[in-house]
Amino acid sequence: MKPIAGIILLLFVFAGMSEAQIKQRSKSQVFYTGMGYKFVLFTDPEARSAYPFFDVTNQAFVKEVDGFFGMVLNEKFVFEFAPSYMFSNDYGSDDSEADGGGFYFTENGVSRYYVPTDAKMFAIPVNGRIKYFPFAKDYGSAFNLFYFGGGAGPVYISEEMNQRVYKDEGRLDYLGAAPYAEDFWTLNFEALAGIATVSKFGIGFEISYRFIPLGASSKTKPLITSIASNFNSFNMAANIIYKF
């Protein structure tokens, strides 16, 4: 929590610089760009077991790198174009489960037990976002740094796994090994809140919740995108911002 507290403290220190910058918004159009690093916690148990927030044993976790380009519409509203790249190259299993992280998958009426030996997953959300600064005109208050908003757009998901296949979870009848892969497009939606400086070079801290439904098109192969109900996630991001 100490790094997060430090970020928030720095933002409040920069708050005194915000008045002149906010007044400038009303005189001319302002643009900004930046990038961020995000920690991702899947809320669906199947997705979280395979791609954990942090797996101490395997030191595996889901990462996301964000890029964004924004336009200040007025003192209170900002529009952003925000693509990002979310990825994990390790399969993390729940050590408390007797099955050690394998799962059943049924195809053509036949159920088999699949144990991943390695995995690769990545997703590319391409979102448009609206941010609202409710206290932007309170020039003397640090709360003018606070915003909330939402976004939506398409997301491309790709998943690959090498699987050992068994008749059941007892793993006595080994049926062979095979690679499986799937990729598809779906939609994603996000709700977000955060704080950000408005100086020439700024920093920000943001929390968000992303909704990624998984439809029937993603449930055709023995992969996590087939057995998870969604790829929804709670996210925490630190951003670096440059204003034109």
Q: 213: domain CATH number?
A: 2.40.160.20
107 vs 90, more confident: 107
Residue-wise pLDDT tens digits, 229-244: 999 999 999 999 998 8
Q: What DSSP string describes 55-113?
A: BTTTTB--EEEEEEEEEE-SSSEEEEEEEEEEEE-S----TTSTTTT-EEEEETTEEEE
Q: pTM for the full model?
A: 0.81
Instruction: Specify the pLDDT at position 100.
Output: 53
Phi and psi at residue 139, in whole multiples of 5°? Answer: -60, -30
Compute CA distances 109 → 10, 31, 177, whole Å. 58, 55, 20
- pLDDT of 185-207, one tens digit each? 999 999 999 998 767 888 999 99
H helices present in the chain, as ranges: 2-13, 18-25, 45-50, 224-227
Q: Please give the Cα distance from 35 to 237 (Å, whole number).
A: 10
Return the pLDDT at 60. 67
- What would the pLDDT profile of 39-85 be if each residue is shown by its tens digit? 999 999 989 888 888 765 566 688 999 999 999 998 889 999 999 99
Which domain, by its residues, includes 179? Answer: 2-243
Q: Domain total for the chain?
A: 1
* Structure tokens belonging to residue 240: 């670096």
